[in-house]
Amino acid sequence: MMRRTVSFSKNATNIFLHVLTRCNLRCTHCYINPAQHGDGTLAPDTIERWLAALFHPKRPANLILLGGEPTLHPQLDRVVKLARDRGVASVTIDTNGYLFNNILQKVDTKAVDFFSFSLDGTTAERNDAIRGPGSFAACTAGIRAAADKGFGVSLIYTVSTRNIDELALMPALLKQLPVQRFFIQVIGLRGRSAAAKGPGPSSAALQVHEKKWKETVSSTAARIAADGIAVTFPKVYLDDDEPFECAAVASHNYFIFPNGRVYRCPLCEDFPLHSLAFRDDRLVPTDPVNEWDLVQLEIPEGCVMNRLIQPGNIRYRSDGRPAHRIACCLLKETFIP
Helix ranges (DSSP H) in the chain: 34-37, 44-54, 76-86, 103-106, 124-131, 135-148, 164-167, 170-174, 191-195, 210-226, 247-250, 291-295, 304-309
Is residue 310 close enough to count as binding ligand SF4 by CB under 6 A?
no
- Residue 67 within binding range of ligand SF4, rule CB under 6 A: yes
Between 107 and 139, CB nearer to ligand SF4: 139
- Number of residues in contact with ligand SF4 under rule CB under 6 A: 24
Interface residues for ligand SF4 in 288-307 (CB under 6 A)?
295, 303-306
Residue 264 three-state SS: coil
**Nearest approach, Cβ of residue 214 and ligand SF4 (Å):** 19
- Binding status of residue 47 toward ligand SF4 by CB under 6 A: no
Report if residue 247 touches ligand SF4, rule: CB under 6 A: yes
The CB-of-26 to ligand SF4 minimum distance in angstroms stands at 5
Rounded-to-integer distance, Cα 104 and Cα 285, Å: 37
Estimate to the nearest angstrom the gap between the alpha carbon of 215 and the chain centroid.
23
Task: Determine how many CB atoms are found less than 10 A away from the CB of residue 262.
Answer: 23
- In one-letter notation, the amino acid at residue 56 is H
Give the residue, chosen from 329, 332, 333, 335, that forms a contact with ligand SF4 under the rule CB under 6 A.
329
According to the binding rule CB under 6 A, does residue 193 interact with ligand SF4? Answer: no
CA separation for the pair 245, 7 (Å, rounded): 9
Q: Is 19 in the site for ligand SF4 (CB under 6 A)?
A: no
Is 270 among the residues that bind ligand SF4 (CB under 6 A)?
A: no
Instruction: Please say whether the beta carbons of 66 and 42 come within 8 A.
Output: no
Q: Which is nearer to ligand SF4, 3 or 197 (CB)?
A: 197
With CA atoms as reference, report the closest residue to 94 among 41, 36, 23. Answer: 23
Q: Which of residues 104-163 bind ligand SF4 (CB under 6 A)?
A: 131
Instruction: Name the residues that contact ligand SF4, by CB under 6 A.
Output: 23, 25-27, 30, 32, 67-69, 96, 131, 246-248, 265, 267, 295, 303-306, 328-330
